[in-house]
Chains A and B, each alone.
Chain A
């Protein structure tokens, strides 16, 4: 084993404490956490070593520790910790710090980091959408959505009298021109953050990395795990979370498919929305939307009632965004069908705010775990330390 030079960073310890790991100093290193964890590998198990490094402020070592992503925060360790040190929460805090540390635009990361800043964080997508409306000359309709109903769109007279959302946000100039750059911005930020993280992971040669098979094989294994929640299911204390996570995860997949197919309708088939309820895209979208609402509300309920496990703002922000997306998405459709024009358009505006929020901040808040965890799991597989015994038995 390599010799580690202790560089104690007191501010880092305080950062962990401030970010939901306030119990970190209580750990007295008994290793109960590593023993009860079903996900921890036999060799150099987590989370004990992370607890020690965190207590000692060993920032450099922790920022290139892939093991924090092997943890799915099921709180088995927290439930059994004899000292109340909540290792699960500490690892959650470390993941938060890792995402923020590798984020290329620190300003945005800071906006979502602390609950007190969230109103300002939400202000940004609102302002972008208002500018959007202004540039499209639609700003005044926000105060009077009924006026939109009466006007036709796409030069089709029969569309007059119907609620069509493109009347507020035109497909190209209102949606594509604003949302595509936001998505590209997120992808670039992810690319920079992840490539730095990958370099950092590889700079620490604690675990010899051997590459076997193909890149596709490597990532497909990790993605298959995500699609099936294979690891998450090994958790005991909050096993229910593996189900809720699966529900939300699959609804996101369904909604992504819906969006993709809708684009094909729009640009290839030249078939603009709204679509009838029996259309396959509509069916998929509605099922996914309902799953998202159920999954996110179930998650919020689980979070609020469980006695152990993280309750940090880091997690709550994602829960709020996901629930917001689902509720406003479904609300938009329902209010449209109920012909409640004002409420339907306003809900649509809020829905787009959530979507824009998700696009802009994806690399900086909890949703980024999607990318960081995938990368870290791939690294761990390469380092032959990804597979816990319990996973092999399945």
Chain B
């Protein structure tokens, strides 16, 4: 496309107090821009209309807004069919530098030139839209979560296939006698809601149910998942758009709990066996002699919150144990001892807890189990310590129920759920805690690390019926959103506005496989010859491949190696001024950039020599930029990535960590140039660091000042 650039400079929001606007207009004209306009308020309706009339009458199609941060007013500066580049002289100059100083003026001019050159090199993206895209959702698992997700998706008008490995629907919930309450006043037990769901699903023409079915393999990408199913021994391939993985949980293996008395007597059973007994027989009896169990002790947290077994809390067990205690009261008119570490009945279950607490026959205490032993009369003795009485208690019981937690079915030795044909393995990867296939729960609920595959229910986190139902609604919405995006050629997540996708100049590819190794989402595969190719609907547009490629052949429509190099060249480096050192800072758009914006909003002072360039992710940092930048006379380079390692903050899981890894090699490059490697630093910045980010920058600048100016200046 033939570009006609229009530069629109704002003088509002303190900008005109800080910089000489007329000088900026001159600079833009020097760069050959014919349409240059200024306004006291570029974002006003009148001025936006003026820009629109320039587009219509002057043929302007590349718009450079020289004003505020690109993170704000995105709805106002939205000109369909045009390239829009935002030059941030409000947050990066006017609000953080000495007004009307030479430093502020030079910074504004640098940013303006960088913006213009970037606009010159940007192309309008043409979205990639796959062919024969499917709009059907595959739900793995016919339990409460799976059926609920299927019903919700069907209600939204989508076709769904539910696969269940067993010969009937219902999952664990169909094996319960009763379930904990799901509606106000949260005091009475309910029939498992899953039975109603089964009826609804069977009557729903949008939902296909396949029983005795497992996945042999899952290939492809969102919109084009080709799933090989084994339906009762018969293999067939079917195409799905997205996948909801509701494959549930397995109760923790009670036979590992000998220290809590398992094996002492047949009358020490798991809560799952207890539930099964009540459902199947309607009675509560002792397995050893079949007598009615009048006194039942429930040992909560059996193997949970225990570093030797499951270190986490499964959340559901407290309420479920209260429910079972009620069985003891209702069926046997007996006494139920509920022995807990902490009673955790979140949200409305508190009402259920309060209700049952009032029952004289339900006796609760906080304690630690010391020993479960067998008495001579074949009753059991539960010795507990650390009670609130300060005494040890000895409780006689006819039946001891060990209440075990949930283990996600994704966290089994051989999960055998998705059988993904991805480089990174067959199943959903577990989050850093190592137990659940969740994504970062704060930023991306319901997302897994495999685009278009949404875990929900107890596979994702331990939860009870009510939680599963809510979770499945979220996952269904996510699946639908995913379809909406790939049908329009927009990145699925998290850059949900992005039409651009990686462009590769394949002629120069050396098949080094670095991109395929480093892609956190398995979006790049190799053919038989080892040549990489993309599965774009898996791609999250982080550009880790761009940073990885030693041949620098990966680029986006609006972001490339050459583009950044050109921008760096636009930074004016004063040659014989020891005070005016110049640094380039590459900042992560997701954490560091908003932190800088927030610091600017608070009018913190930034060192005036730093020029910021945003990155999609620190993972697309390419070392050539640093080598070229320092070669051009810049005094230092800085990368502000997000926190990596345990509890990482990275939107793309590993970008920041990979960048740090690459930085390990930057020393060699600089040594070759004869420069001190201390001029280059990578730091981890969280969005919450905005209060001290100015000090972080000052600290860096002071360290480089001690080294002195770049000796290559002027060459």
Contact = CB atoms under 8 A, between A and B. Distances in A.
Nearest to B343: A28
Contact of B392 (A3, A14, A26, A53): A3
B388 A25 contact: no
Contact of B389 (A14, A17, A25, A53): A53
A253 interface: no
B363 A4 contact: no
Contacts of A13: 360
Contact of A25 (B295, B358, B390, B395): B358
Interface in B53-86: none
A57 interface: yes
B488 interface: no
A29 B358 CA distance: 14
A27 B393 CA distance: 19
B357 A3 contact: no
Interface in B383-416: 383, 387-396
Interface string A303-315: 0000000000000
Given A10-B335, A48-B388, A4 B394 contact: yes
Interface in B329-383: 335, 337, 343, 354, 357-361, 363-366, 383
Contact of B361 (A5, A10, A29, A31): A10
Interface string A1-27: 111111010100110010000000110
A26 B389 contact: no
Contacts of B396: 5-6
A13 B362 CA distance: 11
A52 interface: yes
A49 interface: yes
Given A3-B391, A29-B388, A56 B360 contact: no
B540 to A, nearest CB: 46
B390 A3 contact: no
Contact of B391 (A1, A26, A83): A1
A210 B396 CA distance: 34
Contacts of A48: 388
A55 interface: yes
A28 B357 CA distance: 8
Nearest to B384: A6
B394 A56 contact: no
A44 interface: yes
Contact of A49 (B361, B383, B388): B388
Contacts of B337: 6
Contacts of A57: 360, 363
- Interface SS of chain A: mixed
Given A6-B396, A26-B354, A26-B358, A56 B363 contact: yes
Contacts of A10: 335, 360-361
Given A26-B357, A26-B358, A4 B392 contact: yes
B365 A29 contact: yes
B391 A56 contact: no
Contacts of A5: 393-394, 396
Nearest to A6: B395
Contacts of B364: 28-29, 55
Interface residues of A, number: 25
Given A10-B361, A26-B354, A2 B391 contact: yes
A274 to B, nearest CB: 56
A49 to B, nearest CB: 5
Contacts of B363: 8, 55-57
Contacts of A44: 390
B391 A4 contact: yes
B375 to A, nearest CB: 12
Nearest to B334: A10
B360 A1 contact: no
Given A8-B335, A52-B365, A53-B389, A3 B358 contact: no
A3 B388 contact: no
B392 A1 contact: yes
A25 B359 CA distance: 7
Nearest to B335: A8
A13 to B, nearest CB: 4
A25 B392 contact: no
Interface in A210-255: none
B369 to A, nearest CB: 14
A29 B393 CA distance: 16
Contact of B366 (A4, A26, A29): A29
Interface string B568-600: 000000000000000000000000000000000
From B295, B354, B357, B366, name the one whose CB has the most chain A CB atoms within 10 angstroms: B357
Given A8-B335, A10-B360, A26-B354, A1 B365 contact: no
A52 B388 contact: yes
Nearest to B357: A25
A17 B392 CA distance: 26
Contacts of B393: 3-6
A31 B390 CA distance: 12
Contacts of B392: 1, 3-4
Contacts of A8: 295, 335, 363
Nearest to A11: B360
Given A10-B360, A10-B361, A25-B360, A4 B389 contact: yes
A14 B360 contact: yes
A17 B389 CA distance: 21
Interface string B231-252: 0000000000000000000000
A6 B394 contact: yes
A2 to B, nearest CB: 6
Contacts of B389: 4, 49, 52-53
Nearest to B396: A6
A15 to B, nearest CB: 10
A56 B357 CA distance: 11
A31 B388 contact: yes
A5 B395 CA distance: 6
Contacts of B394: 3-6
A338 B394 CA distance: 69
A146 to B, nearest CB: 59
B528 to A, nearest CB: 66
Nearest to B362: A25
Interface in A154-188: none
Interface in A45-59: 48-49, 52-53, 55-57
A10 B294 CA distance: 12
A186 B364 CA distance: 41
A359 to B, nearest CB: 37
Contacts of A25: 357-360
A197 B550 CA distance: 91
Given A26-B354, A29-B366, A52-B365, A17 B360 contact: yes
B65 to A, nearest CB: 56
Nearest to A44: B390
A4 B395 CA distance: 9
A244 B391 CA distance: 38
Contacts of B361: 10
A9 to B, nearest CB: 10
Nearest to A17: B360
A2 B392 CA distance: 7
A6 B381 CA distance: 10
B361 to A, nearest CB: 6
Contacts of B391: 1-4
Contacts of A2: 391
A245 B231 CA distance: 83
A13 B360 CA distance: 6
B168 to A, nearest CB: 40
Nearest to B366: A29
14 contacts: A1-B390, A3-B391, A3-B394, A4-B391, A13-B360, A14-B360, A17-B360, A25-B359, A28-B357, A29-B366, A29-B388, A49-B388, A52-B388, A53-B389
Q: 3 tightest A-B contacts by CB?
A: A13-B360, A3-B392, A25-B358
Given A8-B363, A28-B357, A29-B364, 10 more contacts: A2-B391, A3-B392, A3-B393, A10-B335, A10-B360, A13-B360, A25-B357, A29-B365, A56-B363, A57-B363
